[in-house]
Structure 1
Amino acid sequence: MTRLRKPILALALSAMLVAGFSTPTFGDEKDDLQRQQRETEKKLDAAKDEVQESTKAARDAKAALARAESKLSAAQSELGRTRGRLAVAEAEDARLRAALEKAQAQLAAAEARLKKAERELRSSRGAVESFAVESVMAGDSGLKAFGDLLRGADPAEFSESMSASTSIGDAQIAIMQELAASEVMLGIERDEVEELRDQVAAQKAEAEAVVVQMQSLTAQAEQQAASVAELVTARAGAKRNADVTLQADLALQRDLEADRARLERQVAEIVRKELEAAERERQRRLKKKGGGGGDKDNGGGGTTGDSGGTLSRPVPGPITSPYGMRRHPITGVYKLHDGTDFGVGCGVPIRAAAAGTVISQYYNGGYGNRVILNNGVKRGVSVITTYNHLSRYAVSTGARVSRGQVIGYVGSTGYSTGCHLHFMVLVNGSTTQPMNWL
């Protein structure tokens, strides 16, 4: 038997408890209810455990889904941040690579210029060295020409020799100057090459650090993506479980609504008969007294012995959820909250709001352990009070109780998110605002 069928079984069994409400007389109805309750009490206990388990499963599934969605959202955010940092690192890597390529090209050009300068320097040095050797070997060309003149050479030849010597000297001076300039340029080229080499080395180190960062971020992103994938799977599983339990709970809720409608119809029949009986009793008394006006309606129709027209608070404590439309805290369905919730701890005694007779006490999938108390006729209408989500009972079906008598203890059975009393007032069989009677 599935969890869904078991709660429905509980509903069916609960409905059996109130099925006897339509028997011919009120006394027979009470006897029939007591008999049916004794017959089904053991089955109800087992069904009650199953409904409680189903309700807990619904809450657990909803909580698991919320946790999975929260973890998934956090993981997705962290993955997004990591991917953002990775994108920045990739852009920085691209920039550094472009800068490195440019610096390497500049270094290559500088090295080429350095090699050319070195070649030119070697050539200039060779020319200077050759000139020096030739000068040593040939001696002073000016002195030689002057000697030739003394020895009777043509003065014109002397002039030509001196002019050639001067030209050669100028050329050699130019070569020497070029050599000096080449040495200066070579030093500059060497400094530039060294600077560019240092720059390239620094950019390589920076680029390598960015690559390491990218590798770390990539691994981190992959790990986070795997975690997100796992959480997506977990969330999907949690959502499936939540959907299954939600559908089961919604089906149970529909059955509970139908059960309540049946109960209201059957209670309405009891109310009709009780009001008729009260009216007949009043007419009988009037007739017995000869039509005198001395008869006083005690407000209870002769069924409760409580002449109070209002009800007493069943428990102390604040109101945590009033009567009216609201979204159900478990199913999420927007519906009528048909009573007033009092926020009190489990085990707190629950007292009868007025004297009356216990019509029934049984377990309902939505209301949990509940006591239905007929408080008789008050203010000219039939009043029935119900006390729901009890942890245990203090009275039994058919018992007559007085105002303020303990009839049970606060609990959290049925569709409940915590210890509280869900107190209902039925006027002529229909729910009404309990606070109008307290």
Structure 2
Amino acid sequence: MSRRPSLARLLATVLVAVLAALSATAGPASADALSDRRKAAEQQAAANQKAHDQLAASLEDINANLAQAVLDLQTVEQRLPAAQTELQEAAATLERSQREAAIIAARLQDAKDQETAIGTTIAADADKSAQIRVAIGQMAREAYKGGGGVSSVSIVLDAQSTEDFIQQYGLVATALRTQSQSLDALRQIEAQDRNNEARLVAIRERVTELKAEADQKVVEADQARQAAADRKAEIEQLVAQQAEKKATIETEKAATEAEQARIDAEAAQVAAELAQIIAAQRAALEAAAKAKGKKVAAAGPIGNSLFANPTSVNPIYVTSEYGMRMHPILHYVRLHAGIDLRTYCNTPIYAGRAGTVQWAQMRFGFGNQVMVDHGFVNGNSLMSSYNHMTSFVVRAGQKVNQGTLLGYSGNTGTSGACHLHFEVYVNGATVNPRPLLGL
């Protein structure tokens, strides 16, 4: 008596341990898989965004319509592989659902066949049981009519001869054996009937479950079929958009080449104007120095961290660096003469250093441009320009301090999106603004 409870407790302990182990392995594994998929999706989204930002930064020198077509083409080509993968997954899901539906349908039909067979068996057993009961009833009535039971003594006394005795005794024995066999058969049929009834209940429950599973597989197949149709339609649309964007880009190439020529000419004009201004300033310095019997000192190092953040985004966020880069449409290398700083449309642009506004005007390519002259720093002419602005609030000749509002950021000129293209000129030539901003 003492061993059973201890054995039960042992089995319960083992069961709990097994369930805990299963939950400890299956749960985290499933969670890890979900986490991995989410992480991969986030990484892909980040990579797509980075590629988008890099492309957008390289589109500064083309018109907005062409820039948008290039960006749209990139978006389409980034989406296409994912849509094709999703189509394959949806097709695989549909195939799996249809295959599982066929298996369930076969199981359902088998269960229905078993239900029919068991029902037929129960009906046949009921008929047999009824026949046996009728036979037993007849034997009971015959025995009652004969005065009840027949004893061995009455058989001896009533027998007319030995043969008569043997015959009567055989008849009685046969009747009793038949009655006993009939009762045994009835009990066996009733036991089989109870078993078949239990099986029938179980089969009917299974039929109900399989019908539910079959209905669910129909829903899953319909969903997978719709998902596949949606992805196929999306892919067709993406391919059409891809062709459309490529055609737009090809159409705009000639206009872009013409724009590049105008941009280069405008940059040369700015350089020439700055050269004239610097020449005049140096001549004035030399004249003033000569009047005092002195010489103008030779230019020295320009130094770093000369400018404050000219945007309202803090800390400064550089979206495109200074230097040579490949043109995304015309496929030749050209100088990106400044750095692009992240701003948002119509956000404030400030003077990075005190100086005098040389001009505030619209210039092709640069858009609305404010040029600020910061005078001479260690013998070097220092100027800065703020480009693509929506509008400016200063005028030529105006004195500004570091942090003075110059205007508002925008997308004027040949620009793909709202940003600040910031340039620094040392002795009339552009230099990398990054170290001068303390970056």
Q: TM-score range by the shorter chain?
A: 0.5 to 0.7
Partner of residue 218, structure 2: 215
CA contact (8 A) 1:64 1:238 kept: no
> Which amino acid in 1 is paired with 2:385?
T
Matches within 5 A, 1:9-408: 51-52=63-64, 55=67, 61=72, 65=76, 83=94, 91-102=103-114, 104-105=116-117, 108=120, 128=139, 132=143, 146=157, 158-240=161-243, 242-243=245-246, 261-265=264-268, 294-296=294-296, 313=308, 315=310, 317=312, 318=314, 319-321=316-318, 324=321, 336=336, 338-339=338-339, 341=341, 343=343, 346=346, 348=348, 350-351=350-351, 353=353, 355=355, 358=358, 361-365=361-365, 367-372=366-371, 379-381=378-380, 383-394=382-393, 399-402=396-399, 404=401, 408=406
Task: Confirm whether residue 433 of structure 1 aligns to residue 436 of structure 2.
Answer: no
Q: Distance in 1 between matches of 2:178 and 2:360?
A: 128
Q: Distance in 2 between matches of 1:266 and 1:148?
A: 150
Structure 1 residues 143 and 344, CA, compared in 2 at 3 Å: closer, same or farther?
A: closer
CA contact (8 A) 1:110 1:192 kept: no
Q: Distance in 1 between matches of 2:421 and 2:244?
A: 29
Structure 1 residues 313 and 248, CA, compared in 2 at 3 Å: closer, same or farther?
A: farther
Spell out, residue by residue over 1:179-200, the C-alpha distance to the aligned partner (whole angstroms, 9 max, x if none): 2212212322332343343334
Residue segments in structure 1 that go unaligned for 5+ positions in a row = 1-49, 150-157, 300-307
Spell out, residue by residue over 1:290-314, the C-alpha distance to the aligned partner (whole angstroms, 9 max, x if none): xx96234698xxxxxxxx9996558
Larger radius of gyration: 1
CA contact (8 A) 1:85 1:217 kept: yes
Q: Distance in 1 between matches of 2:104 and 2:204?
A: 17
CA contact (8 A) 2:370 2:387 kept: yes
Structure 1 residues 350 and 217, CA, compared in 2 at 3 Å: closer, same or farther?
A: closer
> Which amino acid in 2 is paired with 1:295?
K
Residue segments in structure 2 that go unaligned for 5+ positions in a row = 1-61
Partner of residue 407, structure 2: 409
Three-state SS of the structure 1 residue aligned to 2:193 is helix
Deviation at residue 382 of structure 1 after TM alignment: 5.1
Q: Distance in 2 between matches of 1:327 and 1:224?
A: 46
Deviation at residue 391 of structure 1 after TM alignment: 1.7
Three-state SS of the structure 1 residue aligned to 2:390 is strand
Partner of residue 38, structure 1: none
Structure 1 residues 327 and 207, CA, compared in 2 at 3 Å: closer, same or farther?
A: farther
Q: Distance in 1 between matches of 2:208 and 2:320?
A: 73
Deviation at residue 262 of structure 1 after TM alignment: 4.5
CA contact (8 A) 1:322 1:337 kept: no
RMSD of equivalent CA atoms: 5.6
Tell me the TM-score normalized by structure 2: 0.58
CA contact (8 A) 2:360 2:394 kept: no
> Which amino acid in 2 is paired with 1:339?
I
Three-state SS of the structure 2 residue aligned to 1:424 is strand
Structure 1 residues 77 and 325, CA, compared in 2 at 3 Å: closer, same or farther?
A: farther
Structure 1 residues 174 and 357, CA, compared in 2 at 3 Å: closer, same or farther?
A: closer
> Which amino acid in 2 is paired with 1:195?
A
CA contact (8 A) 2:156 2:165 kept: yes
| Identity value in percent | 17
Three-state SS of the structure 2 residue aligned to 1:370 is strand
Deviation at residue 169 of structure 1 after TM alignment: 2.1
Deviation at residue 369 of structure 1 after TM alignment: 1.9
Q: Distance in 2 between matches of 1:327 and 1:94?
A: 69
CA contact (8 A) 1:390 1:410 kept: yes
> Which amino acid in 2 is paired with 1:348?
P
Three-state SS of the structure 2 residue aligned to 1:385 is strand
CA contact (8 A) 1:311 1:354 kept: no
Deviation at residue 72 of structure 1 after TM alignment: 5.7
> Which amino acid in 2 is paired with 1:98?
D
Structure 1 residues 58 and 148, CA, compared in 2 at 3 Å: closer, same or farther?
A: closer
Q: Distance in 2 between matches of 1:409 and 1:337?
A: 21
Structure 1 residues 298 and 103, CA, compared in 2 at 3 Å: closer, same or farther?
A: same
CA contact (8 A) 1:310 1:437 kept: yes
> Which amino acid in 1 is paired with 2:230?
S
Q: Distance in 1 between matches of 2:168 and 2:407?
A: 135
Q: Distance in 1 between matches of 2:278 and 2:248?
A: 43
Deviation at residue 234 of structure 1 after TM alignment: 4.0
Q: Distance in 1 between matches of 2:267 and 2:324?
A: 22
Deviation at residue 388 of structure 1 after TM alignment: 0.4
Deviation at residue 166 of structure 1 after TM alignment: 2.2
Q: Distance in 2 between matches of 1:223 and 1:53?
A: 35
Q: Distance in 1 between matches of 2:171 and 2:339?
A: 126
> Which amino acid in 2 is paired with 1:321?
V
Q: Distance in 1 between matches of 2:131 and 2:322?
A: 99
Spell out, residue by residue over 1:75-96, the C-alpha distance to the aligned partner (whole angstroms, 9 max, x if none): 8699589746676555444444
Q: Distance in 1 between matches of 2:135 and 2:305?
A: 126
Q: Distance in 2 between matches of 1:276 and 1:216?
A: 81
Q: Distance in 2 between matches of 1:275 and 1:140?
A: 149
Three-state SS of the structure 1 residue aligned to 2:410 is coil
Deviation at residue 424 of structure 1 after TM alignment: 0.4
Q: Distance in 2 between matches of 1:325 and 1:106?
A: 86
